[in-house]
Structure formats: structure tokens, C-alpha cells
């Protein structure tokens, strides 16, 4: 991570160690409180998923977070069982693998509520670059690797800007290629800019704007 293309971002974050400590403190406290407050709604969602289609309640998949660490992400399952071996790992709009309950959960991003567990565990943060599977991380340019200086996030400026990503990929003949060559670079421009302008107030505003975008 000390390559020249990443050093600029590393030095920026090194100067903001207190903010990074508070960021982690915020993540731990808020994720813990939300897990307690949302336990009943999450149980209700779990029942809906189980009644809608056979399979596990959670979707677990290996993702990459800070400094290349791999972890198993927690998400509510929104697709039929074993959907990830039946097609691309990028989801498009009107994907026939998505269940009826899954469409509802995805629309309001409720499928990501279990990621509070990952935030509390330290594998993710409320704000940061969305965690990718390893094959997409391998497609990162050297500068893009700077996003691995911080834990992956539930939301980000890129997530807001590309909230209709599934629609953008719907007409693509080769979804993986279009994602790697067009969508990923665009998202990374916002992710890298967010590191350059890293600040707690900016992250708080990103969280608020995410709620507005979903609403």
C-alpha cells in the first residue's frame, strides 16, 4: 500500500488520526444501538424471506475490506438460493433471480441492515467504499487501491451517485466487462475524492443524503 499512487492518500489519512478514531467510536456505538432497536423489524424481515422462498435468511459472500482483508459480509438474502452460481455477481434491474420479498428489500436497501453486524465487528463502516468481491478488486488500478486504506462502507458518495447502477447495466451484453471498464472507474473517482476530502461532517452528510436518496 506504500506505492507512489497510494502514498498521497495515505499521508492525508495519517494527518487525520483523531478523526479516524472518532469514526470507529461512532461506528461501534451507533451500530450497537441500531442492532438493539432494529432487532424486531429484522426478525420480521427474516420471517418474510423464509416464507417467500427456500434457503438461508442471510446471504454470505466473501468481500474485501481495509488492507485487503477478506470477510464474509452479512446481507438479507434477496435472491433465490445459489443465485451467485447461476449468473454474474453483479445484479441488474428486473433480474429474474430476485425474489418478491427481495425486490422490496432492495428498493429500500433493507437488505443491508445486517451489515450493522459487520460494522460492529470492524470489517465495515457506515461510510466508505462498497466492499467488492476479490475478482473486481484485482481489476483495481494502483490508485484505486487507496480505497483499501479504510474499511469498506455501507454507503458513500459513489453509492448515491450510482444508486441506479442495476438500471445502467440492464442492457449490457457483457455485464462484468461493462462494470469493470465503465461503472467501477466512475464510482472510484468519487471514492478517491472522498478520501482526499475526508472529514467527519462530510461523512455525516453522506449518511443523511443516503437516507434522502433512498426515500
What pLDDT score was predicted for residue 164?
Answer: 75
For residues 45 and 47, what is the distance between their CA atoms, to the nearest angstrom? 5
What pLDDT score was predicted for residue 168?
Answer: 72
What pLDDT score was predicted for residue 94?
Answer: 64
For residues 2 and 7, what is the distance between their CA atoms, to the nearest angstrom? 6
What pLDDT score was predicted for residue 25?
Answer: 98
Burial class (CB in 10 A: 0-12, 13-18, 19+), 201: exposed
What pLDDT score was predicted for residue 48?
Answer: 96
Closest CA to 132 of 77, 190, 90: 90
- Round the CA-based radius of gyration of the chain to a whole number and report it: 17
| Residue partners of 46: CB distance under 8 A and separation at least 6 | 57, 76
State which residues of the chain have pLDDT below 70: 1, 83-94
| Residue partners of 165: CB distance under 8 A and separation at least 6 | 183
What pLDDT score was predicted for residue 85?
Answer: 63
Q: pLDDT digits over 141-160, tens only?
A: 999 999 999 999 999 999 99
What pLDDT score was predicted for residue 92?
Answer: 56
What pLDDT score was predicted for residue 80?
Answer: 85
User: β-strand 70-76 against 58-64: which pairing, if any?
Assistant: antiparallel
Give, as one character, the DSSP assignment of residue 93.
Answer: T
Q: Please report the beta strands in the chain, taking only residues with DSSP state E, as ranges in sequence order.
A: 58-64, 70-76, 124-127, 152-155
What pLDDT score was predicted for residue 133?
Answer: 95
Can you give the pTM of this predicted structure? Answer: 0.90
For residues 80 and 88, what is the distance between their CA atoms, to the nearest angstrom? 14
Average pLDDT, the chain: 91
Amino acid at each position: 500500500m506504500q506505492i507512489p499512487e497510494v502514498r498521497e492518500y495515505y499521508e492525508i489519512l495519517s494527518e487525520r488520526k483523531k478523526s479516524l478514531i472518532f469514526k470507529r467510536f461512532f461506528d461501534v456505538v451507533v451500530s450497537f444501538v441500531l442492532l438493539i432497536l432494529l432487532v424486531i423489524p429484522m426478525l420480521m424481515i427474516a420471517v418474510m424471506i423464509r416464507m417467500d422462498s427456500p434457503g438461508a435468511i442471510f446471504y454470505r459472500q466473501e468481500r474485501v475490506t481495509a488492507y485487503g482483508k477478506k470477510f464474509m459480509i452479512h446481507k438479507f438474502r434477496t435472491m433465490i438460493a445459489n443465485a451467485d452460481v447461476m449468473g454474474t455477481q453483479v445484479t441488474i434491474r428486473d433480474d429474474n433471480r430476485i425474489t418478491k420479498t427481495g425486490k422490496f428489500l432492495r428498493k429500500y436497501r433493507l437488505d443491508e441492515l445486517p451489515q450493522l453486524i459487520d460494522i460492529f465487528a470492524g470489517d465495515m463502516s457506515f461510510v466508505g467504499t462498497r466492499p467488492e468481491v476479490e475478482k473486481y478488486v484485482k481489476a483495481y488500478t494502483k490508485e484505486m487501491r487507496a480505497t483499501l486504506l479504510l474499511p469498506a462502507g455501507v454507503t458513500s458518495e459513489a453509492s448515491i451517485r450510482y444508486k441506479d447502477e442495476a438500471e445502467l447495466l440492464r442492457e449490457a451484453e457483457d455485464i462484468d466487462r461493462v462494470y469493470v471498464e465503465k461503472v467501477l472507474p466512475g464510482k472510484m473517482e468519487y471514492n478517491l475524492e472522498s478520501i482526499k476530502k475526508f472529514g467527519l461532517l462530510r461523512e455525516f452528510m453522506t449518511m443523511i443524503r443516503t437516507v434522502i436518496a433512498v426515500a
